[in-house]
Amino acid sequence: MSQQSEAPSPSYPLQSFFVQPKVSIAIGSFCLLAILINRLIDITAYASQGRADLLATLASAGLVLIGVALEDITAKEADRVELDAANLIRQAEATAADEQQEGLLRWASESLLRGTPYRSVVVFIADDSDLSRASIVLRHGYMGQDLSSVDLTSSPILRSAFSSAKAGISDAVCLQDLKFLPGRVELTYLPSNVPSVVMQPFTTSDGRPGVVVCGTNRPRSVTARHLAWTGNVAKALGLGLGRGRERKGR
């Protein structure tokens, strides 16, 4: 039996040409201009010609409106940024996570990196009685400096997120475009050219404040759905990362 080769899918260059927004707007504008010039030149118009001009005007206006609608739908996304850092595997500090907590951290980081536009995930936990320094318990994705802790006194943005966590406020801080934000120099644990950052506060079950910091590779790419998922993951981390410390204190 001779094997039949699969026929290639037909392409329609004219169809793809006319569905472009700029083409629709240009054709519609040209037709409207032609109708206007025709009416100015031919002063004496019959009723039938007037009706035809009306239909032609509606059709031309419809082309312009379709082009505007297509232009709005096909709005370009912000350009992707090539992050200047090496991709890291999950790293959980032994002093901050037992075997059960390592599994929780692995799940959290993979969930955030796969289900959102995030390319960097860092989890911080601070002592409830001292917000001057925070320990890094997880690093995953594109990273900046190799740090085990961060001085919160020199990082007002992160310190503010920790203050929210300590006060029981779980609202995320979403910095959609860091291009013109002077505070981006504080984010030494992330790539130096990270375009946007989300800081999600949480509180462990034993009362310690924590923050999940996520960086993207494209500005203005984080949506409300991504923020909701980040908040749910942070709640799970708060519950799981507090159990080990409670057992140690017994």
Q: How many separate domains does the chain show?
A: 2
- Does some domain include residue 6? no
Range of the domain at 51: 17-73
Residue 220 lies in a domain: yes
Whether the Cβ atoms of residue 199 and residue 179 lie closer than 8 Å to each other: no
pLDDT tens-digit series, residues 147-184 = 888 999 889 999 999 999 999 999 999 999 998 888 78
Do 33 and 93 have their domain in common? no
Same structural domain, 223 and 131: yes
- Angle, helix 99-115 to helix 224-249, in steps of 10 degrees: 170
Are 57 and 165 members of one domain? no
Determine the average pLDDT of the residues in 139-153: 88
Checking if the pLDDT of 11 tops 90, the result is: no
Residue 123, both tokens: 């989890």
Q: What is the CATH number of the domain that holds 211?
A: 3.30.450.40
Same-domain status, 219 and 96: yes
* Co-location of 191 and 141 in the same domain: yes
Q: Is residue 1 part of a domain?
A: no
Its pTM stands at 0.67
Tokens of 51: 């009706």
| b/e code 202-234 from CB counts within 10 Å (16+ = b) | bbbebebbbbbbbbbbebebbeeebbebbbebb
**Per-residue pLDDT at 94:** 41
Tell me, yes or no, whether 47 and 162 share the same domain.
Answer: no
